[in-house]
Structure 1
């Protein structure tokens, strides 16, 4: 879907630029934005490499398992369908930690890994489970304890004026996301029907064998 959206935007810009006589400005804007994207990406390499390395050390040292145990009272309520010892919990904790530290790009592969592990627990592979929806909502509206690395790279200097407001705004958005997911997953329009288990419906249709007690 995103491919079609991007292609549509490109075609519309080219068509409008052609009819308005500004196709040269469209071309120049494309070149300028390509140059800017490379500059931003290179500027983030050092920050991303540092925090990705820290996350890998934390995972290998067992720190993530300790954090998962500390967060167990929260995770069992947010993800009741996920077993406590499932690898998905560790990936979710890693993703949430990276987001709270402002490492959105570092959180992306961790989020994909968590989704893959949640999909293994999903009984209906064609429909997102409640745990997957909850994780996506939290991932999208994550609390920011540290300003995102992209903001730091673009601003150069972190302003103290937006530090507290960023925490409060993202805290409110996360609470709102969790409440909305919990409310919607219990409504009849969004409630998931459990997938039928193999052979579950065979017992009702199977003929009842006549036992010794049926003889008269």
Structure 2
């Protein structure tokens, strides 16, 4: 549906621009926006390579393993059935740990594997279990210690201090994860 809305907005803007005699301005805007998009992507690519390297060092140094050890008992308490399944629990821990360290690309395969494991132990195959909903919320609202994507975008956009987002990101993502977890636990009693 959103594709239709975007198409309608763009096509109506172009038609109105042509009918009002501003076709040249539209052409210039399209060319300049595509140029700036390519420049931003190239800057982001460099920053993402840097942060992926830093995160790889954190992974090799054992920092992500230490986070995983801290998370495992917490997830065992939060999950009803998923906390007893080692395959599901291991994948969830690795997904959340990777997300916490800003390794979202590395987190995705673990998230898919965790959902597959949770589906395997799900009693109602056509409905998401409470554990699946909670994991999805924790995955989406994961605490970010190093928000690499936001830092990269800020650096590419010319921010003087792109890393100043770290403390606010930790605070907001922690609040989001706590509120999301509480909402899941409250709502699972009613649905």
Measured against the shorter chain, the TM-score band is 0.7 to 0.9
Counterpart in 2 of 1:199?
none
Deviations 1:53-80 (A, max 9, x none): 865x68xx9x85x765543431122112
Structure 2 residue 15 is the aligned partner of structure 1 residue 18: yes
Structure 2 residue 166 is the aligned partner of structure 1 residue 163: yes
Matches within 5 A, 1:19-168: 19-21=16-18, 23-24=26-27, 27-28=30-31, 31-32=34-35, 34-36=37-39, 38-40=41-43, 42-43=45-46, 44-48=48-52, 51=55, 55=59, 64=65, 70-146=70-146, 148-156=147-155, 157-160=161-164, 162-168=165-171
How far apart are 1:51 and its partner, in Å?
3.3
The answer to which structure has the higher helix fraction is 2
In 1: Cα distance, 2:96 partner to 2:106 partner: 11
8 Å Cα contact 1:137/1:178 also seen in 2: yes
Please report the TM-score for the alignment, with normalisation by the length of structure 2: 0.74
How far apart are 1:31 and its partner, in Å?
2.3
Unaligned regions of 5+ residues in structure 1, if any? 191-216
Structure 2 residue 186 is the aligned partner of structure 1 residue 183: yes
Deviations 1:69-116 (A, max 9, x none): 543431122112115352121111111112211233332232222222
8 Å Cα contact 2:88/2:114 also seen in 1: yes
Query: Quick one: structure 1 residues 26 and 77, their matched pair in 2 at CA, closer, same or farther if it must change by over 3 Å?
Result: farther
How far apart are 1:26 and its partner, in Å?
6.2
Q: Which has more radius of gyration?
A: 1
Question: Deviation above 6 Å: which 4+ runs of structure 1?
Answer: none
In 2: Cα distance, 1:10 partner to 1:34 partner: 19
Unaligned regions of 5+ residues in structure 2, if any? 156-160
Which has the bigger relative contact order, CA under 8 A and spacing at least 6? 2
How far apart are 1:6 and its partner, in Å?
3.0
RMSD: 3.1
Once structures 1 and 2 are overlaid, which stretch shifts more, 90-99 or 27-36? Answer: 27-36
- Aligned residue pair count: 178
